Structure formats: structure tokens, C-alpha cells
Amino acid sequence: MTTELIGRIHLITIPARDAERSIAFYEGLGFEKRVDFPFGEGGRWVELFPPDGTAGVALAPGPEAVTGVDTGIILTTGDIDTTHTRLREQGLDVDDEVARPGGAVRIRVGAVDVAGPQPPMFHLRDPDGNALLIVAPG
């Protein structure tokens, strides 16, 4: 008999007003669409997963979804500077600079506003303004 009640995080819901636009955004980051079916009245339930991830995002359907939220989602990258530069070059909404240990750039993580965080990080916002945090773990 197992005493484990919870196995793992499977999905995190992100509000999305336009499913196609959000799908294109996440697929552009390398996510893979694994589920896509009708949901509710005229909506869609879409699940996307990062290439090496077991936890994914589910797009919360609806043109009236409350958007522009801090999702609390943290994504990793092996090269923070290249990732930041490439996302900016793609015209995506990212912070102006990477916040680094010992640096002056401030970044908000949850309810905490810090300067020079560890590890280096920056925010990326999806087409609905929902914030994701990109970090380069040490």
C-alpha cells in the first residue's frame, strides 16, 4: 500500500482569450500540443508541454478570461543570455535586462521585489500578458 497521495504536478492553467494565438506562442517556445478538444460553449481545452517536461500548461478557454496574471510558472534555460536575446529578437515581451546576482536590476518574484536575484532570471509575458519566469539554474 502506498502512502503517497499526490504523484506529481501535471498541468497549470493559464488564462487565454485566443487559443490559436496562445498555441502559436507556446509552440514557438518549443512546447508540444498534446491535447486539443472542444470545451464548454464554443471553447477549447488545450494542453501544451515543454520538450523535456512532465508538467504542462492548459489554456483556460474564453474571450472573457482574466488575463495579465503572474502565473508563478518558472521555466529553465541552459543559456539565459542567448534565450533572452532570441526572445527579444522574436519580438516577444521580455524584461529589458536579465536580473543577475549582485546586479542592480530588480525583479518581482511572487510578492517579493529583489535586486540581483540568484539565479539569473527574467520575465517573459505571453500574448495575454501572463508572466512566466525564465531562470538559469546553477
pLDDT tens digits, one per residue of 55-105: 999 998 777 778 899 999 999 999 999 999 999 999 999 999 999 999 889
Chosen CATH of 68-138 out of 3.30.300.30, 3.40.50.10490, 3.90.950.10, 3.10.180.10: 3.10.180.10
Does position 43 have pLDDT exceeding 90, yes or no? Answer: no
Q: How confident is the model at residue 5 (pLDDT cuts 50, 70, 90)?
A: confident
Which residue spans of the chain are classified as CATH 3.10.180.10? 9-66, 68-138
Residue 21 burial (CB count, 10 A): 13
Stretch 21-37: mean pLDDT, rounded?
96
Nine-digit cell at 55? 508538467
Does position 1 have pLDDT exceeding 60, yes or no? Answer: no
Q: Return the bridge partners of 39, or none.
A: 43
d(CA 22, CA 1): 42
Stretch 35-39: mean pLDDT, rounded?
92
Q: What is the sign, positive or negative, of the torsion defined by CA atoms of 31, 91, 110, 64?
A: negative
User: 9-66 architecture in CATH?
Assistant: Roll (3.10)
| Residue 111, pLDDT score | 84
